[in-house]
């Protein structure tokens, strides 16, 4: 949306990519290539440093897609220092779909280890019906959810930094980090 | 703390020879109405409750669900219950219910209580524990058809939601109602809340929720905390909310007759 209240079909300059909106896969993708144009899988203008590029995992080692997000009880890493917020959501957890949890023999409340090419976290498992196994290009694909509020000291129980897992990729224009889609492995801790 | 500004219509373990204060006119029956279809599960009500009542529970553990604290305690008087329910067609619903004292018109806790004046019911319908009279026997827990009261190990006394009797007696709504960001909790006279519920139920039905209805169970004489449920025909779906709660006959036959 632009100041005059309308959007535009073309990017009018000042953008690293464009002029048309484009579909790219995340830098760490479970797919072999971009279904729309196999030669360019992820955004070539995204900001990735050389050493960070070397720390990208592959699906054979890290078969699940992870997404980090916030939950209503906590705000960033601020409110975990407040007792009442800590009471409402005291301990780090990850959300795992019922099917995947069944396959990995993980029950609700079990401690699990989630690892990516860049490190690992340990957290309690919330097993949910809300995350369902997806079918992407003929293959089953499981996604797990990683709330991002723990780590360091606080009024909550100690936890791990979710961003240990995520890749250091900045959006081509905004430098917004690519924390919404990357590859991990999950196992019972 | 007894509310001196309130008439008391029932008092535990007390006979009619020593009646409680009953001098005031214009006492209106109040009710809290919780519309589960509007609740987003933000737990703002839990935090507001602890703020107003100066409660600070332990920082607990995650036990594999969103519910935290994991259960009601003597220092947590309300919790949001999260239930994932699939219907016959496989459609998933995330059902949320704010759990806490229902403030029954016929309170099982009060009937079961053997300590004179430890549980009272005000003329406005609020059922309140008078902690200084509590002997910590736990009979109120056995008497409650909703499994709400909890004993505090620190002082061996029972605690539960007061419906913010202190706020209500000076014309304010309970803290949870004041803070709810989506307007899922309303407070007013019981008659007004039933009217509001009827409007909401009609709207939910018009949007395809055929089982929508008001939860005001008559087995306990109705309650002063009511729910608008999208599945009022199956209240058990909402974290085992009893379909037809009754006071145990053993409790009703006790000291309070």
pLDDT in tens, A74-117: 999 999 999 999 999 999 999 999 999 999 999 999 999 999 99
Residue A21's pLDDT is: 79
Residue B149's pLDDT is: 98
Q: Is it the case that residue B195 has pLDDT exceeding 80?
A: yes
* B47–A contact, CB cutoff 8 A: yes
Q: Which domains does chain B show, CATH number per domain?
A: 8-252 (3.30.70.20)
Q: What is the mean pLDDT of residues B185-201?
A: 98
Q: Which of B18 and A48 is assigned the larger pLDDT?
A: A48
Residue A152's pLDDT is: 86
The verdict on a CB contact (< 8 Å) between B63 and A93 is no
Q: Which of A174 and B138 is assigned the larger pLDDT?
A: B138
Residue B254's pLDDT is: 57
Residue A16's pLDDT is: 87
Strand partners, A128: A97
Distance of CA B202 to the CA centre of its chain: 24
Is there a contact between A162 and A94 (Cβ–Cβ < 8 Å)? Answer: no
Q: What is the mean pLDDT of residues B216-240?
A: 97
pLDDT, tens only, B152-189: 999 999 999 999 999 999 999 999 999 999 999 999 99
Output the CA torsion sign for A17, A19, A21, A22. negative
The verdict on a CB contact (< 8 Å) between A109 and B62 is yes
- Three-class SS string for A58-115? CCCCCCEEEEEECCCCCCCCCHHHCHHHHHHCCCCEEEEEHHHHHHCCCCCCCEEEEE
Confidence at B253, pLDDT banded by 50, 70, 90: low
φ, ψ at A56 (rounded to 5°): -95, 135
CATH match of A50-188 with 2.40.40.20: yes
Residues of A in contact with B180 (CB under 8 A): none
Residue B72's pLDDT is: 98
ipTM of this predicted structure: 0.92
* B53–A contact, CB cutoff 8 A: no
* A85–B contact, CB cutoff 8 A: yes
Q: Is it the case that residue B25 has pLDDT exceeding 80?
A: no
Cβ neighbours around B37 below 10 Å, total: 18
The verdict on a CB contact (< 8 Å) between A124 and B62 is yes
Peptide bond into B69 cis (omega under 30): yes
Closest CA to B36 of B91, B90, B99: B99
- Pick from A73, A109, A129: which is nearest to B43 by CB? A73
Q: Is it the case that residue B190 has pLDDT exceeding 90?
A: yes
Confidence at B6, pLDDT banded by 50, 70, 90: confident
Residues of A in contact with B56 (CB under 8 A): 83-84, 87
SS3 B51: helix
Residues of A in contact with B53 (CB under 8 A): none
Mean pLDDT of chain B: 94
| Span between the terminal Cα atoms of chain A, in Å | 46
SS3 A130: coil
Give the span between the Cα atoms of A62 and A66, in whole angstroms.
10
Confidence at B151, pLDDT banded by 50, 70, 90: very high
- Pick from A109, A129, A155: which is nearest to B63 by CB? A109
The verdict on a CB contact (< 8 Å) between B64 and A86 is no
B30's enclosing H/E stretch is: strand B30-35
Residue B20's pLDDT is: 78
* B91–A contact, CB cutoff 8 A: no
Low-confidence ranges of chain A (pLDDT < 70): 1, 11-12
Interface test with A, best of B45, B50, B58, B64 (most A CBs within 10 A): B64
* A155–B contact, CB cutoff 8 A: yes
The verdict on a CB contact (< 8 Å) between B61 and A90 is yes
Question: pLDDT > 70: what percent of chain B?
Answer: 97
Confidence at B216, pLDDT banded by 50, 70, 90: very high
Q: Is it the case that residue B2 has pLDDT exceeding 80?
A: no
- Give the start-to-end residue ranges of the domains of chain A: 50-188
């Amino acid at each position: 949306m632009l100041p005059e209240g309308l959007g535009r079909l073309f990017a009018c300059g000042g953008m690293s990519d464009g002029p048309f909106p484009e579909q790219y896969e995340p830098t760490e993708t479970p797919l072999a290539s971009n279904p729309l144009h196999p030669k360019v899988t992820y955004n070539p203008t995204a900001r990735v440093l050389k050493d960070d590029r070397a720390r990208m995992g592959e699906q054979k080692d890290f078969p699940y897609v992870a997404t980090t997000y916030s939950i209503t009880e906590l705000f960033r890493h601020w409110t975990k220092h407040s007792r009442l917020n800590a009471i409402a959501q005291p301990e780090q957890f990850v959300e795992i779909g019922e099917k995947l949890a069944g396959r990995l023999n993980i029950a609700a409340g079990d401690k699990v280890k989630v690892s990516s090419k860049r490190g690992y976290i340990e957290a309690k498992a919330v097993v949910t019906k809300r995350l369902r196994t997806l079918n992407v290009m003929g293959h089953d694909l499981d996604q797990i959810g990683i709330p991002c509020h723990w780590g360091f000291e606080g009024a909550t129980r100690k936890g791990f930094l979710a961003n240990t897992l995520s890749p250091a990729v900045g959006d081509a224009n905004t430098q917004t980090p690519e924390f919404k889609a990357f590859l991990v492995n999950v196992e019972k801790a | 703390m007894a509310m001196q500004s309130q008439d008391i219509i029932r008092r535990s373990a007390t006979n009619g020879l020593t009646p409680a204060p009953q001098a005031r006119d214009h006492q209106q029956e109040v009710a809290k109405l919780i519309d589960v279809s509007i609740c987003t599960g933000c737990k703002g009500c839990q935090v507001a409750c602890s703020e107003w009542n100066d409660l600070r529970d332990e920082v607990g553990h995650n036990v594999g669900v969103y519910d935290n604290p994991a259960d009601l305690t003597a220092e947590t008087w309300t919790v949001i219950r999260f239930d994932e329910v699939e219907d016959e067609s496989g459609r998933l619903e995330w059902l949320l219910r704010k759990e806490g004292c229902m403030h029954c018109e016929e309170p099982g806790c009060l009937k079961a209580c053997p300590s004179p004046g430890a549980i009272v019911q005000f003329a406005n319908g609020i059922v309140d524990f008078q902690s200084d009279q509590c002997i910590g026997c736990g009979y109120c827990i056995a008497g409650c058809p909703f499994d709400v009261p909890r004993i505090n190990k620190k002082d061996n006394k029972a605690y539960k939601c007061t419906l913010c009797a202190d706020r209500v007696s000076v014309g304010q709504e309970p803290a949870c109602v004041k803070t709810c960001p989506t307007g899922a909790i309303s407070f007013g006279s019981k008659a007004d809340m039933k009217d509001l519920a009827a409007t909401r139920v009609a709207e939910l039905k018009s949007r395809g929720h055929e089982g929508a209805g008001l939860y005001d169970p008559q087995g306990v004489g109705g309650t002063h905390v009511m729910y608008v449920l999208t599945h009022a025909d199956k209240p058990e779906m909402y974290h085992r909310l009893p379909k037809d709660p009754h006071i145990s006959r053993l409790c009703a036959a006790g000291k309070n007759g």
